[in-house]
């Protein structure tokens, strides 16, 4: 076996990930740990300052309820999320985040994040729930607060560049995690009384639009690879909404954000003949039950109307940037000086929107001579991603807060500690927890805080370090490092290290996974459409891929990480395919279309589709859970 030093870390609370949810968890945990004499350990595969989906920065905070100003109520937010998710949402979880999210935003501002202000000193809203920010350093600001909270209080420690592979178990209780350094020959064993999974969602499960020379460019940053899903599945936790992937429509090829264009600049998107699918296809919305009639129209239905244009050969679809800018500037047309000033301001806002969060879009515009005030830009539906905190909903099935349960919901939605999975001592937040979408960066931070507080309560009430069998640790270490051994053993049996009958490199393994998902599980090549036969074929091919994962080979630490990233993706893929197969209807056209079950079926399928893997029996189970209401429906 590869010669790695074994490092054992014992802690009370283990936070896995260093993104928005983990940083929220760190801030809250530091406070409660100090009160209770506990230790907190945070582990990130990267450097917390610039890790996760917010690494590059953001141009807007997408969840701010504005409770203080009386702008909206918690119920308003729940109504919005329920409608956007076509009726399938955990209202207790969404409401819990909504009532705490504003305080996370106020903390960001206190820590130094510049939030745009209007002339009266109020926040500038991009849309009803979104605030405009100068957010290129958003993650640095949030990370600094988390690091200060853990390190200055003396309760915490932070490990960076440690890739977490999977859980440690003590019977039915989570006992921590194992991982390895991506820089040094070190294998880590983290033993903990409670563990928070907050390792984000998953990208590159599906073949991306950007292949070949553009590989790595995706809407979702490439470093979140399904580790949260793998960790919770491998621990035996119940998962939810695994079918609810997210397909963002973004500026084509560099995936620049469209929010500011649609919401702030009030831009239209039109097809190649100038037609506006949101107007011309409005009748289509009637087919999608009550959800087609609500405002705002659910994200997947908006996608779907554009996709119908593409299928009819009316593409490309364009964001009419020139028209939107002109319309705003025209209000100043009688004053040439003000007009010129406004045009300059709009132009700089347009570029800054990209420079704040998707720099490559600005580079692509510059490289292809796009001047948004003069010329429209193409937009397109991206490949599917798993991001339960955004407009998808996949993640672990977690307990809701006690005080928001009704007699009805208490049976299914509550088992003691907020955000605890169905596995004792294992908690999930951000993209890792499901059925509570639209929490975004701010809501993920708030959910991290909620989760850490509940996890500390769990520790105080279950204050024993779970036992971990040394034998199990030895087996795990051998399993984790095996790709290095496989490479060493067979590397000389070929003239090209990339090709060898005895092993598969992670890059080729990823291409194989992506091809399966793309062609059979409704990826871009399949025009986001699938059916039962295709899904069954995907499962057959995934089973063979799983068999071959035993032959993954790694030349170095970096490739070892790539091997495990792809194993994580593979499990996320299987959970997805099994759940899409289970749900016998099309509920989210625009995310995926079940061509053999092309309609919404409210009577039978107004339910959650949950799944669970039994690691001992090596068997999946997929089943439904009721959708229950905490608030009366709007």
Ligand X SMILES: Cc1cc2nc3c(=O)[nH]c(=O)nc-3n(C[C@H](O)[C@H](O)[C@H](O)COP(=O)(O)OP(=O)(O)OC[C@H]3O[C@@H](n4cnc5c(N)ncnc54)[C@H](O)[C@@H]3O)c2cc1C
- The interface with ligand X within residues 93-122 (CB under 6 A) comprises none
Find residue 386's DSSP bridge partners.
202
**Among positions 2, 81, 198, 573, the unique one binding ligand X when judged by CB under 6 A:** 198
By CB under 6 A, is residue 44 in contact with ligand X? Answer: yes
Is 280 known to be catalytic? no
By CB under 6 A, is residue 389 in contact with ligand X? Answer: yes
Q: Which of 24, 156, 136 lies closest to 430, judged by CA? A: 24
By CB under 6 A, is residue 62 in contact with ligand X? Answer: yes
The answer to whether the CB of 442 falls within 8 A of the CB of 105 is: yes
Is 431 known to be catalytic? no
Secondary structure of residue 428 in the 3-state scheme = strand
In this chain, which stretch among 60-68, 490-498, 503-511, 579-587 interacts with ligand X, using CB under 6 A?
Answer: 60-68
Q: Is the peptide bond before 316 cis (omega within 30 degrees of 0)?
A: yes
Catalytically annotated residue among 353, 431, 447, 574: 353
- The interface with ligand X within residues 140-179 (CB under 6 A) comprises 163-164
Task: Quote the least distance from Cβ 77 to ligand X, whole Å.
Answer: 14
Q: Which of 51, 53, 46 lies closest to 182, judged by CA? A: 46
Task: Quote the least distance from Cβ 282 to ligand X, whole Å.
Answer: 27
Task: Quote the least distance from Cβ 429 to ligand X, whole Å.
Answer: 7
Is 219 known to be catalytic? yes
Is 548 known to be catalytic? no
By CB under 6 A, is residue 223 in contact with ligand X? Answer: yes
By CB under 6 A, is residue 20 in contact with ligand X? Answer: yes
Residue environment code for 12-23, b if the CB has 16+ CB neighbours within 10 A, otherwise e: bbbbbbbbbbbb
The answer to whether the CB of 550 falls within 8 A of the CB of 494 is: no
Catalytically annotated residue among 82, 99, 390, 569: 390
The answer to whether the CB of 190 falls within 8 A of the CB of 174 is: no
Find residue 607's DSSP bridge partners.
626
**Whole-angstrom distance, CA of residue 238 vs CA of residue 229:** 10
By CB under 6 A, is residue 442 in contact with ligand X? Answer: yes
Joined tokens for residue 326 = 């002109």
Joined tokens for residue 632 = 């009366």
Find residue 46's DSSP bridge partners.
none
Secondary structure of residue 551 in the 3-state scheme = helix
Which residue, 28 or 519, has its beta carbon nearer to ligand X?
28
Task: Quote the least distance from Cβ 624 to ligand X, whole Å.
Answer: 26
In this chain, which stretch among 56-64, 185-193, 414-422, 516-524 interacts with ligand X, using CB under 6 A?
Answer: 56-64
Is 353 known to be catalytic? yes
**Among positions 41, 51, 399, 534, the unique one binding ligand X when judged by CB under 6 A:** 51
Which residue, 259 or 523, has its beta carbon nearer to ligand X?
259
How many C-alpha atoms does 228 have within 13 Å on its Cβ side? 39
By CB under 6 A, is residue 52 in contact with ligand X? Answer: yes
**Among positions 195, 224, 514, 534, the unique one binding ligand X when judged by CB under 6 A:** 224
Task: Quote the least distance from Cβ 187 to ligand X, whole Å.
Answer: 14
CB atoms within 10 A of CB 118: 9
Task: Quote the least distance from Cβ 284 to ligand X, whole Å.
Answer: 27
**Among positions 399, 419, 441, 486, the unique one binding ligand X when judged by CB under 6 A:** 441
**Among positions 206, 219, 417, 571, the unique one binding ligand X when judged by CB under 6 A:** 219
Joined tokens for residue 449 = 């805080």
> Which three-class secondary structure string do you get for 63-100?
CCCCCCCCCCCHHHHHHHHHHHCCCCCCHHHHHHHHHH
Task: Quote the least distance from Cβ 630 to ligand X, whole Å.
Answer: 22
Which residue, 32 or 220, has its beta carbon nearer to ligand X?
220
Which residue, 165 or 541, has its beta carbon nearer to ligand X?
165
CB atoms within 10 A of CB 359: 15
Write the CB contacts of 252 (distance below 8 Å, at least 6 apart in sequence).
209, 316, 377, 378, 379, 380
By CB under 6 A, is residue 22 in contact with ligand X? Answer: yes
Joined tokens for residue 313 = 């050969």
Using alpha carbons only, give the angle 30, 33, 35 rounded to the nearest 5 degrees. Answer: 110
Residue nearest to ligand X (CB): 19
The answer to whether the CB of 333 falls within 8 A of the CB of 290 is: no
The answer to whether the CB of 405 falls within 8 A of the CB of 92 is: yes
Is 268 known to be catalytic? no
Task: Quote the least distance from Cβ 272 to ligand X, whole Å.
Answer: 27
Secondary structure of residue 389 in the 3-state scheme = coil
Is 334 known to be catalytic? no
**Whole-angstrom distance, CA of residue 21 vs CA of residue 199:** 9
By CB under 6 A, is residue 57 in contact with ligand X? Answer: no
Catalytically annotated residue among 83, 399, 441, 444: 441
By CB under 6 A, is residue 42 in contact with ligand X? Answer: no
Number of residues that this document lists for the chain: 634
What is the 8-class DSSP label of residue 59? S
By CB under 6 A, is residue 243 in contact with ligand X? Answer: no
Which residue, 224 or 531, has its beta carbon nearer to ligand X?
224
Task: Quote the least distance from Cβ 353 to ligand X, whole Å.
Answer: 10
In this chain, which stretch among 219-227, 491-499, 582-590, 624-632 interacts with ligand X, using CB under 6 A?
Answer: 219-227
Give the binding-site size for ligand X (rule: CB under 6 A).
38
Residue numbers at the binding site for ligand X (CB under 6 A): 16-22, 43-46, 51-54, 58, 60-62, 163-164, 198-200, 219-220, 223-224, 227, 387, 389-390, 430-431, 440-442, 444
Catalytic residues: 62, 126, 219, 250, 353, 390, 441
């Amino acid at each position: 076996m590869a010669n790695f030093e074994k490092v054992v870390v014992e802690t009370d609370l283990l936070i896995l990930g260093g993104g928005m949810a983990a940083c929220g968890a760190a801030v809250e945990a530091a406070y409660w740990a100090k009160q209770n004499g506990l230790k907190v350990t945070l582990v990130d595969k990267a450097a917390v300052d610039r890790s996760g989906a917010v690494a590059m920065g953001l141009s807007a905070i997408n969840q701010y309820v504005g409770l203080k100003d009386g702008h909206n109520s918690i119920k308003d937010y729940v109504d919005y999320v329920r409608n956007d998710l076509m009726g399938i949402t955990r209202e207790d979880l969404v409401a819990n985040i909504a009532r705490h999210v504003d305080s996370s935003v106020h903390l960001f501002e206190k820590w130094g994040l510049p939030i745009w202000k209007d002339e009266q000193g109020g926040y500038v809203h991009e849309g009803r729930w979104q605030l405009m920010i100068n957010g290129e350093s958003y993650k640095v600001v949030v990370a600094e607060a988390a690091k200060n909270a853990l390190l200055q209080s003396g309760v915490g420690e932070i490990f960076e560049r440690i890739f977490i592979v999977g859980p440690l178990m003590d019977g039915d209780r989570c006992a921590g995690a194992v991982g390895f350094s991506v820089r040094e020959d070190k294998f880590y064993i983290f033993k903990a009384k409670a563990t928070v999974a907050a390792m984000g969602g998953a990208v590159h499960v599906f073949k991306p639009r950007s292949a070949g020379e553009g590989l790595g460019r995706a809407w979702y940053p490439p470093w979140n690879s399904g580790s949260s899903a793998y960790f919770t599945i491998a621990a035996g936790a119940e998962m939810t909404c695994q079918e609810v992937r997210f397909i963002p429509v973004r500026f084509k090829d560099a995936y620049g954000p469209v929010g500011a264009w649609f919401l702030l600049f009030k831009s239209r998107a039109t097809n190649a003949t100038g037609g506006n699918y949101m107007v011309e296809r409005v009748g289509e919305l009637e087919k999608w039950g009550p959800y087609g009639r609500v405002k705002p129209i659910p994200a997947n239905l908006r996608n779907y109307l554009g996709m119908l244009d593409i299928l009819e050969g009316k593409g490309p679809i364009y964001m009419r940037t020139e028209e939107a800018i002109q319309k705003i500037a025209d209000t100043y047309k009688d004053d040439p000086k003000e007009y010129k000033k406004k045009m300059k301001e709009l132009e700089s806002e347009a570029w800054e929107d990209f420079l704040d969060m998707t720099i490559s879009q600005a580079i692509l515009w510059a490289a292809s001579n796009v001047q948004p005030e003069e010329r429209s830009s193409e937009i397109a539906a991206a490949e599917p991603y798993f991001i339960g905190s955004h407009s998808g909903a996949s993640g672990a099935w977690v307990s809701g807060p006690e005080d928001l349960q009704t007699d009805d919901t208490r049976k299914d939605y509550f088992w003691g500690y907020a955000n605890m999975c169905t596995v004792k001592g294992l908690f999930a937040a951000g993209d890792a927890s499901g059925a509570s979408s639209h929490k975004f960066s701010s809501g993920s931070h708030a959910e991290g805080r909620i989760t850490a507080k509940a996890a500390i309560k769990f520790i105080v009430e279950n204050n024993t370090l779970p036992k971990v069998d040394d034998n199990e640790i030895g087996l795990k270490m051998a399993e984790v490092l095996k790709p290095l051994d496989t490479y060493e053993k067979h590397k000389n049996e070929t003239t090209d290290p990339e090709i060898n009958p005895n092993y598969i490199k992670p890059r080729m393994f990823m291409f194989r996974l992506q091809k399966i998902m793309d062609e059979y599980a409704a990826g871009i090549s399949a025009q986001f459409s699938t059916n039962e036969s295709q899904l069954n074929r995907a499962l057959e091919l995934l089973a063979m891929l799983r068999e071959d994962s035993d032959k993954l080979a790694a030349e170095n630490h970096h490739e070892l990480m790539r091997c495990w990233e792809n194993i994580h993706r593979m499990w996320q893929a299987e959970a997805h395919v099994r759940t899409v197969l289970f749900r016998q209807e099309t509920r989210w056209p625009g995310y995926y279309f079940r061509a053999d079950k092309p309609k919404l079926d409210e009577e039978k399928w107004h339910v959650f589709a949950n799944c669970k893997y039994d690691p001992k029996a090596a068997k999946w189970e997929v089943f439904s859970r009721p959708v229950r209401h905490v608030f009366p429906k709007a």
